[in-house]
């Protein structure tokens, strides 16, 4: 793990602790929104439930709109925390605008370097960290948040796994919701702006597939903001 990634890990945990101490009521509100007013332990368990909580904390810190100005908790924490130095603030500034997106593994090299294609933004990304790419194979599809740290893209820790068979359905659902966003929320809004505002769309789709693996018509919640 590189130096900047170590700083990011420390900042993230400190931000989580800050929110738990200073804004417990916001956690309850965010939790209800993220899980669409449902209790996740009623339909998922084991590793999937643990992953769901990791994904929630990632979204809570990076994407949840914590005040009327629509600041993230990462932004608020960096503004209010005492003792953050130039290196810490530089890392925050670099990662605070990050987004969740949907990726497909297009190739895996012998040295475990993995090439990803962003299925929503069209970019190609090379992951070199063997601890992150272990077990990935060509054709795998998942949503995650990539951060540029130590000169390389790294995963933030969250992941929403989908099967190859679900690819078209996931893309269709996101495209439908993006069209509504561009029509009703932000005229001429870009896909990147949509993903920053509504990254929780991946969790809604993911948990609906878990609750009903044969689901074809399940839809994310209508846009109302958080």
CA distance 205 to 203: 5
Model confidence band, residue 216 (pLDDT cutoffs 50, 70, 90): low
Of the candidates 176, 172, 162, the one whose C-alpha atom is nearest the C-alpha of residue 104 is 162
Q: What is the pLDDT of residue 221?
A: 46
Q: What is the pLDDT of residue 132?
A: 66
Q: What is the pLDDT of residue 214?
A: 60
Q: Which domains does the chain have, with CATH numbers?
A: 3-95 (no CATH), 100-162 (2.40.50), 166-211 (no CATH)
Model confidence band, residue 3 (pLDDT cutoffs 50, 70, 90): very high
Q: In this predicted structure, which of 9-13, 19-23, 39-43, 157-161 has the lowest mean pLDDT? A: 39-43
Q: Which helix (H) or strand (E) holds 101?
A: strand 100-108
CA distance 181 to 178: 5
Convert the pLDDT of each residue in 121-146 to its tens digit.
Answer: 999 999 887 666 778 899 999 999 99
List of residues 6+ apart from 128 with CB closer than 8 A: 113, 152
Q: What is the pLDDT of residue 226?
A: 54
Mean pLDDT over each residue of the chain, to the nearest integer? 90
Q: What is the pLDDT of residue 217?
A: 46
- pTM score: 0.90
Q: What is the pLDDT of residue 223?
A: 42
In this predicted structure, the answer to whether residue 169 has a pLDDT above a threshold of 90 is yes
Convert the pLDDT of each residue in 52-89 to its tens digit.
Answer: 999 999 999 999 999 999 999 999 999 998 889 999 99
Q: What is the pLDDT of residue 83?
A: 84
Give the number of other Cβ atoms within 10 Å of residue 47's Cβ: 8
In this predicted structure, the answer to whether residue 219 has a pLDDT above a threshold of 70 is no
Higher model confidence: residue 186 or residue 223?
186
Tokens at residue 2, please? Answer: 């590189």
In this predicted structure, the answer to whether residue 220 has a pLDDT above a threshold of 60 is no
Q: What is the pLDDT of residue 218?
A: 45
Q: What's the whole-number mean pLDDT along residues 156-165?
A: 93
Cα 218–Cα 224–Cα 226 angle in degrees, nearest 5: 105
CA distance 136 to 133: 6
Q: What's the whole-number mean pLDDT along residues 20-35?
A: 95
């Amino acid at each position: 793990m590189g130096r900047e990634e170590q700083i990011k890990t420390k900042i993230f945990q400190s931000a989580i602790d800050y929110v738990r101490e200073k804004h417990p009521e916001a956690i309850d509100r965010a939790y209800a929104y993220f899980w669409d007013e449902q209790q996740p332990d009623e339909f998922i368990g084991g590793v999937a439930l643990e992953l769901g909580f990791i994904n929630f904390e990632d979204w809570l810190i990076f994407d949840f709109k914590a005040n009327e100005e629509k600041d993230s908790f990462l932004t608020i924490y960096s503004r209010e925390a005492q003792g953050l130095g130039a290196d810490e603030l530089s890392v925050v500034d670099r990662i605070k605008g990050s987004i969740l997106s949907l990726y497909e593994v297009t190739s895996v090299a012998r040295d475990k370097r993995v090439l990803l294609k962003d299925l929503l933004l069209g970019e190609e990304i090379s992951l070199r960290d063997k601890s992150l790419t272990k077990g990935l194979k060509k054709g795998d599809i998942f949503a995650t948040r990539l951060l540029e740290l130590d000169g390389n893209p790294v995963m933030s820790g969250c992941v929403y796994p989908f099967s190859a068979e679900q690819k078209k359905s996931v893309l269709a659902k996101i495209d439908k919701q993006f069209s509504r966003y561009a029509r009703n929320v932000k005229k001429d809004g870009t896909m990147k702006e949509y993903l920053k505002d509504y990254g929780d769309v991946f969790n809604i789709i993911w948990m609906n597939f878990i609750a009903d693996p044969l689901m074809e018509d399940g839809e994310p919640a209508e846009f109302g903001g958080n």
